[in-house]
Amino acid sequence: MKKSTPNHPSTCRIALCFAIVALGVLVVLAAESRAQNEPMLVPDVVDYSKLLPVLPDAPSGWIADKPEGSTADVGGFQITNVHRDYRKSDAADSPTTAISILDSVANPDYVQATTAAWNQNSETSEGYSKSVTIDGNPGFEAYEKEVKTLANGEKKELKHASLWVMIAKRYFVEIELQNQDPKELQDWVKRLDLKKLAAVK
């Protein structure tokens, strides 16, 4: 029986939902801004089945859920996304990873606006956000930590790290870590064949 990640919803899935909604809104607004008699040529997104093989298997000592995906209509345009969850164990505080890929080829304006926002860097005692480059691809890394007091009075540090990478000016890759050091993001992104993803049409 498939187990979900214990004790917290996937922030990655929430972020992906917001990304899908935002993409749909931008697509609709772009369509409305065009002249009525102007033909609108929108590239087709790939079927989600082509992206599922890009999601890596679990590394040694980890457990991977079955990969999920969908290709759906949003505002008259198609959006494709795939997702897979990984966990070190079934313990409540076990390290977890979630990887998602979103095909945003239907709206280049969305791609441009999102990647432009990645240039804003910041750092505090609670974490940081910064622009990065992964194998020549633009990206954005964020990390936050929180000290939580447990019922027995013990203090526990919670860690959350995310990495977004734009591939071939269409694919948003997001890697989200819970209870892991942010340096682990580099190990996870290396498990993805980004060149293979860039070639998917």
**pLDDT tens, 134-148?**
999 999 999 999 888
Is residue 3, in this structure, part of any structural domain at all?
no
In a domain, 133, yes or no: yes
What is the rounded distance in angstroms from the CA atom of residue 129 to the CA atom of residue 110?
Answer: 20
| Residue 142: per-residue pLDDT | 96
> Which residue has better confidence, 110 or 5?
110
Q: What is the predicted pLDDT for the residue at 100?
A: 98
Nearest to 19 by CA among 65, 66, 80, 68: 80
Residue 1 is assigned to a structural domain of this protein: no
Say if CB 63 and CB 87 are below 8 A apart.
yes
91 in any annotated domain: yes
Is 93 within the bounds of a domain? yes
Residue 129 pLDDT > 90: yes
Question: In which band, very low, low, confident or very high, does the pLDDT at 42 lie, cut at 50, 70 and 90?
Answer: low
Average pLDDT over residues 163-167: 97
118 within domain boundaries: yes
What pLDDT, in 10s, does the model give residues 70-87? Answer: 998 877 777 899 999 999
Residue range(s) defining the domain that contains residue 46? 11-199
On the CB side of 148, how many CA atoms lie within 13 Å of its CA?
11
Contact residues for 18 (Cβ-Cβ < 8 A; gap 6+) = none
Q: Is residue 6 part of a domain?
A: no
- Domain annotation covers residue 2: no
What does the pLDDT read at residue 165?
97
Question: What integer is the mean pLDDT of 109-115?
Answer: 87
Q: Shortest CA distance to 90 belongs to which of 184, 2, 151, 159? A: 2
Tell me how many domains the chain contains. Answer: 1
For the cut 60, the answer to whether the pLDDT of residue 1 exceeds it is: no
Helix ranges, the chain (H):
11-33, 108-117, 184-190, 194-199
Task: Name the pairing type of β-strands 122-124 and 96-103.
Answer: unpaired
pTM for the model stands at: 0.79
More confident residue, 11 or 145: 145
Largest interatomic CA distance in the chain? 67
The CA distance from 109 to 143, in Å, is 27
- pLDDT given at position 41: 59
In this prediction, residue 30 carries a pLDDT of 46
